[in-house]
Amino acid sequence: MFRPMAVLVSSIAALFLAACGAGTQMPPAPADPALREQQTQAFVQAMKPRHAGRPVVAIAMLNEGTETTDFLLTHAVLQRADVAEVKAVAPRRGRVELFPAFQVDVSEDFDGFDRAHPSGADYVIVPAMSNDADPAVTAWLRRQAERGARIVGVCNGTLVLGNAGLLDGRRFAGHWSSRNKVLERHPGSTHVPHQRYLVDRGVATTTGITASIPVALALVQAIGGRDKAAAVAGELGASSWSPEHDSGPFALTVRRGASYLLNKAQFWSHERWGVEVRDGMDDVALALIADAWSRTGRVSVHAQSAASGSVALRSGMMLVTERFGRERPRLPLTTAMKPLQQLDNTLCQIQERFGASRREWVVLEMEYSGALVSVDSGGCRSS
């Protein structure tokens, strides 16, 4: 009894302290198609391969905790595009805990990657991590940057980049909840609002979790051309991958904080859901849907299969599964929709099950500016 109450009180303090900084007033987002195209082309030109041949993309992970969508989606999109050699690497080979859902097995560690690629990666993607100052990760990132790799921090991967000394004196994007933290830690850095992603002297950053979609497609364009990026975007259901973004709505307010805490206080109503995974399952849809439901604070999602062990997803990533056990609610997942359509549909289902405030919180945490869901007196419907 006392432990949940203590956690609740500390959560209240953290949320209201965050609200003092994260809700900083911003200028309105510019409505300028020419500017959006200019920003896209600036990123693409800055991220074009510097050497002939197939580039090497390393996606850095922390064994103890790496964000689910930041990792699975960028890995899957680049593998699907087939424009680079894509490697998932962590301090240690083997199990990597993802948050808020799933575990994966990776076959390459930092030392092994360095032996195989002594001149370094061409690109390194950095998802959000449970510890943004892990010494092994930050040291490896510094080495990769020194060897000429372009670094991409996705969502709160920006914090990891900052702790590796890669944001000093640079412009950055970043998840709305952490931009003030970056500015406090790195006084020479400059936050740029209203851009989904940007690059400054070889270091790229993005806004929240769902920015992994446009930045991965922009990187595909830089490496493989616009037609390749457009083909992959069509498979995902993305009509655009421009850096267009309105940062204004993404901030913590007292109302949102209070709604979140009331929901968290109902810890007795937490549900364990299963999702059946099979070889070849689409990583992108799985990551987006599991991430969204998990961020309601009311559901935990567990990968299940006929036999415990690992299942190879479409990208080749090995997802750890548990054997089917007692009957659990099933994660609503269908192959009839493209991944982004499934995310929109999931947000609708979240609203129907847990209310509009839960949907709003998930959109806020994922910083999803592309929701194709409208709300009317009849409830939530796809538009």
Residue ranges of E strands in the chain: 56-60, 66-67, 85-90, 94-99, 103-106, 108-109, 123-126, 150-153, 171-172, 190-191, 197-200, 203-206, 271-276, 299-305, 309-312, 318-323, 373-376, 379-382
DSSP 207-257: SSGGGHHHHHHHHHHHHH-HHHHHHHHHHHT-S----B---TT-S--HHHH
Please give the Cα distance from 129 to 136 (Å, whole number): 13
DSSP symbol at 165: T
Please give the Cα distance from 172 to 67 (Å, whole number): 20
Please give the Cα distance from 217 to 178 (Å, whole number): 24
Peptide bond into 100 cis (omega under 30): yes
Say which residues have a Cβ less than 8 Å from residue 263's Cβ, sequence separation at least 6.
Answer: 296, 297, 298, 354, 357, 358, 361
CA 67 to chain CA centroid, Å, is 6
DSSP 345-371: HHHHHHHHHH-HHHHHHHHHHHT----
Count how many residues are written for the chain.
383
Joined tokens for residue 296: 């309601």
Nearest partner of 233 among 383, 10, 77, judged by Cα: 77
Q: Is 378 exposed, middle or buried (0-12, 13-18, 19+ CB in 10 A)?
A: exposed
Q: Which helix (H) or strand (E) holds 161?
A: helix 157-163
Active site residues: 155
Please give the Cα distance from 112 to 121 (Å, whole number): 13
Please give the Cα distance from 54 to 223 (Å, whole number): 9
Please give the Cα distance from 259 to 357 (Å, whole number): 7
